[in-house]
Amino acid sequence: MGHKTPIYELHLEQGAKIVDFGGWDMPIHYGSQVEEHHAVRNDAGVCDVSHMTIVDLTGADATVWLRRLISNDVAKLTTTGKALYSGMLNDQGGVLDDLIVYRTESGYRIVVNCATREKDLAWMNEQTEGFDAVLEERADLAILAVQGPAAIDKVTSLVGPGHGAVIAQLKPFVGLPSGNWFIARTGYTGEKGVEIMLPAEDARQLWQQLMSAGVQPVGLGARDTLRLEAGMNLYGSDMDESVTPYESNMAVTVVLEDHDFIGKAALQAQLAQGVSRQLVGLVMLERGVLRAHYPVFRNNVQVGEITSGAHSPTLGHSIALARIETGEGDLEVEIRNKRLPVKQVNPPFARNGKQVYKLD
C-alpha cells in the first residue's frame, strides 16, 4: 500500500483505477483517459496532485541560499507572488529535480516532485549548513489543479467572492495566498487554469463542488498526454541526474551571469566543449505510436532514443520527446523492427487545443 492523498476515497467513489505512482496510490483514469484529455482541452478538468511536495522556505538567508541551490535566479522574483521554473542540479550539472518557486511575503514556496521527495529534502537540508534558512514541508496541504479554457470561470463561481477576487488578479505564473489557501496561475497542461494548495478538509469540499459543477476528474494518464502535447518534461523520463539542463530543453532555466549556483562550473565546461545531445520533439504522421525507449536513427546510425511518447488525442497522430545527438539529417524511429520516418520539431506540439508545432 502506498501513500494516499486526502481525497483518495473520493477517487474511489468516482470509479478511479488506482495505480502506484512514485510510492503513492493515484488515479490513472476514471473510465476514459481520452475523454479526460479532451475535457481539459475543451472545457475543464481537475487533477489531484496532492502527491507533490510543498516546502516553505524562510530565514534571513533564504534568497542567498536559494540563489545557490537552483540554476534559475530567484533575484528575478521582485514582487510577492511571482514564480519561476528551475532545475535543482548536482555538482556535475545533472538535474536532481525540476521545481517551481513562488515568492511569498515571508520567503518562498517551493513545489517539487513526489518521486524525488526524500532525495530532494535530504539534499536541500544538507545545503542549508552555514545559512539562516529554514525548510518546512507542508504535508498538511493538498493540491488541486483545475485546468482548461473554462477552468477559471468555473472555479471562481464555486469558491466565493474572497477567493474569486484573488483569482481575478492573478496573471500566469503568479500565486498568492487567500486566507489559508494559496492559489496560483500555474499548471502542467498547456491550458488556462489554477493550482490550489489548501487544507485537506477544504480540498474534499472543493472536489465535490467541482464534480457537481460538471468538472471532469482527470487521472495521471490524461495529465501525461496533456503535458506531452504542451512540451513539458517529466522528471525521470525526460531528464534526471545523468543529463544537464542543456540536454533537456531547459536552457531557459539557467542564469549564468552574476549568479553562482551548484553545478554552474560543470555547465560552463559543457558549453565550452559544445553540447552534444539535445531534447527535441518528434512527430510521426504514419500509423503507429511512439513510446519511451524506442531507438532513433539518423543515416542508419542510432543517435538516441525517445524519452516520452504517446498518441496525441488533440492532434490525432503520434508525438514524442527524444534525446538525440546534435546533427543534420532525416530521422527514423524503430518500432517492432521496422523503421518509420519522423519529423523533428520544436515543442510544444499543442496549446489551447490547437497545433502549434511547425514542419519544415
Quote the pLDDT of residue 352: 82
Query: Boundaries of CATH 2.40.30.110 in the chain?
Result: 276-355
Report phi then psi at 284, rounded to 5: -120, 115
Cell of 3: 501513500
Inter-CA distances, 209 with 37, 52, 159, Å:
20, 22, 9
Residue 182 has a CB neighbour count (10 Å cut-off) of: 23
Dist CA 311 CA 298 (whole Å): 22
Range 1-272 has CATH code 3.30.1360.120: yes
* Nearest to 285, CA basis, from 223, 236, 355, 187: 355
Q: What is the pLDDT of residue 353?
A: 84
* Higher-scoring residue by pLDDT: 253, 352: 253
Q: Are strands 45-48 and 216-217 parallel, antiparallel or unpaired?
A: parallel
Q: 0.85 cut: is pTM over it?
A: yes
Other Cβ atoms closer than 10 A to 95: 26
In the structure grid, which three cell numbers stand for residue 118, read together? 526524500
Tens of pLDDT along 258-288?
A: 999 999 999 999 999 999 999 999 999 999 9
Provide the pLDDT for residue 115. Answer: 86
Residues 236-256 have a mean pLDDT of: 98
Taking a C-beta distance cutoff of 8 angstroms, is the pair 314, 148 a contact?
no
Q: How many residues does the chain have?
A: 360
Residue with cell 481520452: 34
Query: CA dihedral in degrees (111, 114, 115, 120; nearest 10)?
Result: 40
What residues does CATH 3.30.1360.120 cover in the chain? 1-272
> Which residue stretches of 71-130 are H helix?
117-127
Domain 276-355 has CATH 2.70.98.40: no
Give tens-digit pLDDT for 167-198. 999 999 999 999 999 999 999 999 999 999 99
pLDDT at 360 > cutoff 80: no
Q: In this structure, what C-alpha cell is assigned to residue 343?
A: 519529423
